[in-house]
Structure formats: C-alpha cells, structure tokens
Structure 1
C-alpha cells in the first residue's frame, strides 16, 4: 500500500519491524497458526538496553485454548498483560502461557545483562521469579496498561512504552557490551560447548566470568551455552523429517546420547522422540 506522507507511514518509518522468531518457540509451526507474533527494534536511544519489543495476539473464541511454550533466552522481560503485568526473570526450564478466548500481550525484551542498571541488584534474584513492575519503576502500572491496550497498532503501543522508558534510562554500563559480545559468540560459534572455551577466547578468569553472569545475566555461562544448543536441537527436530539423535548429541558436545536426552527432557518435559511426535 502506498501511504506516502501519511501519519501512519511516518510512525512505521520510526518503528522498524524485526523478523519473526526462528528459535525458542516450541512447536513453532502450530504456534503460528494459533497466534500472531511480531517483533520490533527499539529506538536508537534505547537499543543499548532493549533487544526488541514483541507482541502476541490471538483469537481463539471458537477454538480450544492453546498452551504456548517457549525456551526463554537469557533475557529479562517486562510483559504488559491485562491479567497481570509483570517483570519476568529468566526461566530455566520452559515458559508456558495459556492462550484462550481473545487477547494480546506486549513485551519488552532486554538485552542480556541490560536489566541490571535498572534493577541495581544481583539479577539472579529474579531467576525463575516474577516481580511487580512498580517494585522497580515508580509508576502507576494500571494507568500505563490502560494506555497501552487502548491502542490497537503496535507502533502506537511502542511510542507509549518508549516515552515511559526514556524517563528511566540509566548510564550505559560497559559490562553489558562485554556480556553481549560473549553471548553473541556463543550463538554464532557452535564449537563453543564449554565454559573453558569462553575463558580462553575472552581471556577472562573462570570465576570472574561466572560472577559477572550471575550478577548481570542471572544464570551461569554454562546454562547459556546449553540453552542455545537446545534451541538448535528444537529447531532441527521441527524442520527435519528424520533426526538421528545419537549423531545430534555428539554434534552438540554431549559425551553420550543418554546425557543429551536427560537435559532435553529436564528442560522441555518430553524426550526428543516424544517431542517429535507432538509436532508431526
């Protein structure tokens, strides 16, 4: 649609849309049928701290409820939800949310380590926990929720959220850039299967690395490595007709298939074979 010079186009040119998530969403093909997902980059004044905004909309008025599940990244989220807006620490297992009737949620995904300057405490205190938003930010949450959900367009919602966030921007902490360079390397380099490899690549002491991740990220570097490798596994199971789990376990750095299956089941709640049956 050619909408040159309209207000709508001006807003869209400011808010840049990001591609759909390719990893982390379990049973992704089915999830896309049940709900609409969208992600947007943050304004340049905020993108040091914020990886992206995300929205999920669904209308299951004439359908059964759907349990949406993800394998969360090492990031803190603020989620605005009519049933209860919260700050979500990293979930070590899988995160589940029941979609029913009709609704939407709006989320802010912080870069790994980037919530620390807002929280000003050890971020591991939030791991596997939620926190009320007004325990960190001086705000009337109900009023902000109402402003957000009055708007239908994601771009309008983002403008409201960014206007609020800009009043609370802390100093840029160089540790955040350092942490993200490590995590980017973990994502890109499939040969990184141990903390010792990170220690060598970044010339940092193992204990210093572990303390840094505990304080800023909320989980250990070992957990981060395993989580990104599990993302790869879930994606391969979703997209590959036949999966050789023994080869996959070795490829991901496991000594044997049994340890791989144990980690997978502890995280997702099903063995790889059982999970495969739920998506085919």
Structure 2
C-alpha cells in the first residue's frame, strides 16, 4: 500500500495523464522543490503491446525523452484539445517533464499556439538540444535524470514578475476551470477581445479553451481522489448545466464515460501504481 506521504505527493499533482499510468508497466513521479515552473517529473516503461495510450487536455507542455531510442530521442508535446491517441514504443522507458499549466518555456523556439495540439522533435525547437538529450539518456536513474533537467532549467532565465496571463491562469485553476469570461474581464480589467489575444499569444489557447482543459483535469482529479463522489454533484461543482452535458464533455475529453473511467481507476488501483521519489 502507498504510504501517507506518497499519497500526499500524488495528490499534489493536478495535471494528470492517467492513461499513461494505467497503460505502463511501472510509473514513477517526483514533485520538484526548486523548479517552480515544473508541475512534476515522471518516468515510465511502456507496456509490452502495440496498443496506443491516450493523452487528455491538461493545459501543459511536456518534454518527453525516449530513453531506449537508437538515436537521440525527445519530443516537445503541447496540450491536447480533446482525447487523442499517443503511441509509445512497447517496452521502452520514457522520462518526462511536465510544466505547470499555462507555462511555455522560454528556451523553446516556437510560440505557445504553435505547440498546442502538436508534437515536435526537441532538436527542431531548441538550440543545442542534443546536449541535454545526451545527458538525460546517459543515465537510466530517474533521480539523476531529474537532477540533470533541474540543473538545466536553473540556468534559464525566469520571469521576475507574474504577468497578467499568469494571474488569470491561476484564477482559472483556483476555480477548477468553472469561471466565465465576463468574470475574467472583471478580474483583469481587460476586454474579452484583449483577453483572447493575450491568451493565444502567451498560452496558445483561448481563455475558454484553457478553462476547458482545467475543468477536464479537475473532473479526473476528483474521481481519482474521492471514494464518495456522485457525478451529479461533480457536474454541478464544475459548472455544467446538467449531468448529460457533463457526461458528453467528459467522454470527448477523456475518451470514456466518467463511470467507465472510475471503474478503470479502481480496478487497476491507479494511485498505488504511482511511485513517488
């Protein structure tokens, strides 16, 4: 059974890709203490089948390293807009870095909107990427891979002040994605049109699209971490007009109904499959 501290760490992860966990042979994760732009690091071994996994919207950008690639292998993956297939090489070990929702690393030579719903070879959007890839692939130890990437990120410039887009992102996350554009207008003092332009430039999504991803993650999080959950209450809590609307939206974003997802999570003991370091 997972220890209390491990369960607390897992509960601290609010940007999840549950199908990666459920389709892997083993899954490890680490919450950083000195890299505030990172949600968490993770490592997993893909299952020994050709069946694709599924990525769901999370509002995040990931760096994903294939540690068993014949050559240098790493991808930059933008947030998905709906549930979509992801094919991992069977039996390969992967190491990943998930940035917090709404963060686009400055060292990537691509705009936030160019990354949305796309994957790029890291070498195509990052100068001198091979050096970082070689360092990560040179060790098979998860803890050392975390140290390598943390050290790399510590050398990159960070914004000294929180900008308006980041403030709005924090507001949306605080409300679990259940917030109207007019509320964001009042909060920011900007018009809807200005907010749309600001978000597309800095986040790669509209405020509504980002809120949709966060609402998806909030639904998944609550199902994962609650044993006494009713879908009608969850639908209300997330601001859906009725339960059927919530069910349709969940199926579109997660690829199964909430009940099917809940059964899969409980059947495969989702939380106990994640090992925290």
Give TM-score scaled by structure 1 length: 0.73
Whether 2:204 is the aligned partner of 1:222: answer: no
* 1:120-169 deviation line (CA, Å, top 9, x unaligned): 6541122111122222222252x5433322213334323433554566x3
**1:109 — aligned with what?**
98
Is the Cα–Cα contact under 8 Å of residues 75 and 109 in structure 1 kept in the other structure? yes
Whether 2:74 is the aligned partner of 1:85: answer: yes
Equivalent-residue separation in structure 1 for 2:177 and 2:95 (angstroms):
35
Whether 2:194 is the aligned partner of 1:201: answer: no
Equivalent-residue separation in structure 1 for 2:157 and 2:145 (angstroms):
22
Where does the alignment leave 5 or more consecutive residues of structure 1 unmatched? 1-17
Whether 2:23 is the aligned partner of 1:35: answer: no
Deviation at 1:98, TM superposition (A): 5.1
Whether 2:150 is the aligned partner of 1:146: answer: no
Between the two proteins, the alignment pairs up a number of residues equal to 253
**2:9 — aligned with what?**
19
Equivalent-residue separation in structure 2 for 1:171 and 1:246 (angstroms):
42
From the CA coordinates, give the structure whose radius of gyration is larger.
Answer: 1
Whether 2:174 is the aligned partner of 1:188: answer: yes
Are residues 116 and 99 of structure 1, via their aligned partners in 2, closer, same or farther at CA, if it must alter by over 3 Å?
closer
Are residues 156 and 250 of structure 1, via their aligned partners in 2, closer, same or farther at CA, if it must alter by over 3 Å?
closer
Is the Cα–Cα contact under 8 Å of residues 199 and 206 in structure 1 kept in the other structure? yes
Alignment of 1:140-179 (within 5 A): 141=130, 144-165=132-153, 169-170=156-157, 172=159, 174=161, 177-179=163-165
1:56 aligned residue (43, 48, 61): 43
Deviation at 1:182, TM superposition (A): 2.0
**2:275 — aligned with what?**
none
Is the Cα–Cα contact under 8 Å of residues 85 and 133 in structure 1 kept in the other structure? yes
Q: Which has the higher contact order (CA 8 A, sep 6+)?
A: 2
* 1:28-67 deviation line (CA, Å, top 9, x unaligned): 9x73983222124264xxx46x32451213375xx66776
Deviation at 1:251, TM superposition (A): 2.6
**1:254 — aligned with what?**
240
**Higher mean displacement: 78-87 or 207-216:** 78-87
Where does the alignment leave 5 or more consecutive residues of structure 2 unmatched? 1-7, 268-277
Equivalent-residue separation in structure 2 for 1:202 and 1:23 (angstroms):
24
Q: Secondary structure at the match of 1:219?
A: coil
What is the RMSD of the two structures over their aligned residues, measured on CA atoms?
3.4
Q: Secondary structure at the match of 2:28?
A: strand
